[in-house]
Amino acid sequence: MNANPALNSDGFPVNSGSPSLENIREVADDFFSHLNERTCRTYQQGLKDFAQFIGENEIFPALLSFLQSSPVEAYRTALRYQTNLKERGLSPGTINTRLTALRALVRFMQVMGLIQWELRIKNVPTEAFRDTSGPTQVVFLNMLETARKQQFTPKAKRDVAILMLHRYLGLRRGAIVNLDLEDVNLDSGTIAVLEKGKLEKRIRTLPEETKKALGIWIEERGNSPGALFYNLHRNPEIRKRITGTGVYHIVRTLGAKVGVKTRPHAIRHSSVTDLLELTNGNITGVQQFAGHKDVRTTSIYNDNRKDEAGRLAKLLEEWDKSAKG
C-alpha cells in the first residue's frame, strides 16, 4: 500500500524532486490566469526582464533554472537582480513591481508544491517625493477647446470625452482604455470603472457635461458591444480598442498644440490638486475621488499644493535678513 504524499502548509502535495519545465509552465499559466489583464502584462514584462538578466530569452526556462537552484543561491540571484535594477537607474516603484512579480510567482510555485522554499527578498525603500504638477485650468480648457475644433468629427468627439474623463473623474489612462460600452449608463448618469489594483468595477457618478460628452461620442460610435473607445482606422472593420499609448498620444498632441508638454496622468494630478484647493484640503473626499488606496498618497498632493517647506524656507530667510538690519 502506497504512503500518503507529504503535504505542504497549504495542503498541496510536495514535489519530491526538481520541478520540470512542463510543471513550471503549467503552474505559471495557472498563476497568470488569476491576474487581471494589466497586472498580468506588467508581471510578464518584469519576469521577461529577469529571464534576460540570468541569460535566458524566455520566462519558463529562466524559472526552471532559478527554481532548481538551492534556496540560498536563488536568494543571491534575486539580490544580484535587485542590484542590477538599481544600477540601471530604474525607479523604486519599478524595481519593487519586478521583485513583487518574482516573489508572487515563486510563492505560487511553493503553494502548489513544486518547491519547498519561499523567496524573501525585500523591496527597496521608496521616496516620498512625487511630482504632482499638471496643466493649469486655463491650459486644460484650451486643450479641450482644441479637441472640439478638430476637423475629423469622430476624433473630436472621442478626444473630448477622453479628456473629460481624465479631468472630471480623475481616471487613469488604463481605466479609460478598459472601458466598455456597457459600463456607461446614461440614464442613471453613471459609469463602471475598473480602477488600479481592483478586481471589481466601481460605479462613478458622471458630472453633467461629461455625461453629455460621452453621449455625443456614443451616438457617433454606435451601439455595438465592446470597447468604449477605439482607434479611428479608416477601415471600420479593423478598428480595435484604443491602447494606453494611443491615449498618451492624444493628450500629448493636444498639449503641444496649446504650447505645453503634458501627459494623461498630469491631467489627473491637476484634478486632485485643484479639488484639494477647492475643498480646502478635504483629503478624505479627494482620496475617494482619486481612488488612492493609501491616504498618504493624497496627503503628498496636499503637501505639495501648500508648499509648506517653501513657505518656511522663505520665513527663515526673511528672519535672518531682518537681523542684518
What are the pLDDT digits (tens) for 159-182?
999 999 999 999 999 999 999 999
Q: Is 38 helix (H, G, I), strand (E, B) or coil?
A: helix
CA angle, residues 75, 127, 307, in degrees to nearest 5: 175
What secondary structure letter does DSSP report for 149?
T
Contacts for 252-260: CB closer than 8 Å, 24+ residues apart: 254/143, 254/146, 254/147, 254/159, 254/163, 255/135, 255/139, 255/143, 257/143, 257/146, 258/139, 258/142, 258/143, 258/146, 260/135, 260/139
Q: What is the pLDDT of residue 127?
A: 60
Q: What is the pLDDT of residue 14?
A: 44
Read off the pLDDT of residues 91-133 as tens digits, 9 standing for 90 and up.
788 899 999 999 999 999 999 999 989 999 999 887 654 667 7
Sites in the chain below the pLDDT cut of 70: 1-17, 127-131, 325
Find all residues with CB under 8 Å of 167, minimum gap 6, and list them: 140, 144, 267, 270, 271
Q: Is 301 helix (H, G, I), strand (E, B) or coil?
A: helix
Sorted by where each begins, the domain ranges of the chain are 21-111, 137-309
Whether 109 contacts 19, CB under 8 Å: yes
DSSP string, 75-121: HHHHHHHHHHHHHTT--HHHHHHHHHHHHHHHHHHHHTTS-S----P
d(CA 198, CA 182): 19
Four-CA torsion 295, 36, 266, 288, nearest 10 degrees: -30
Count CA atoms within 13 Å of residue 320 on its CB side. Answer: 5
Orientation of helix 59-68 relative to helix 37-53, angle to 10°? 60
Helices (H), 169-261: 173-177, 208-221, 244-257
Whether 97 contacts 42, CB under 8 Å: yes
What secondary structure letter does DSSP report for 292?
-
Amino acid at 264: P
The CATH number fitting domain 137-309, selected from 1.10.443.10, 2.60.120.920, 3.10.180.10, 1.20.1080.10: 1.10.443.10
d(CA 244, CA 250): 10
Q: What is the pLDDT of residue 10?
A: 47
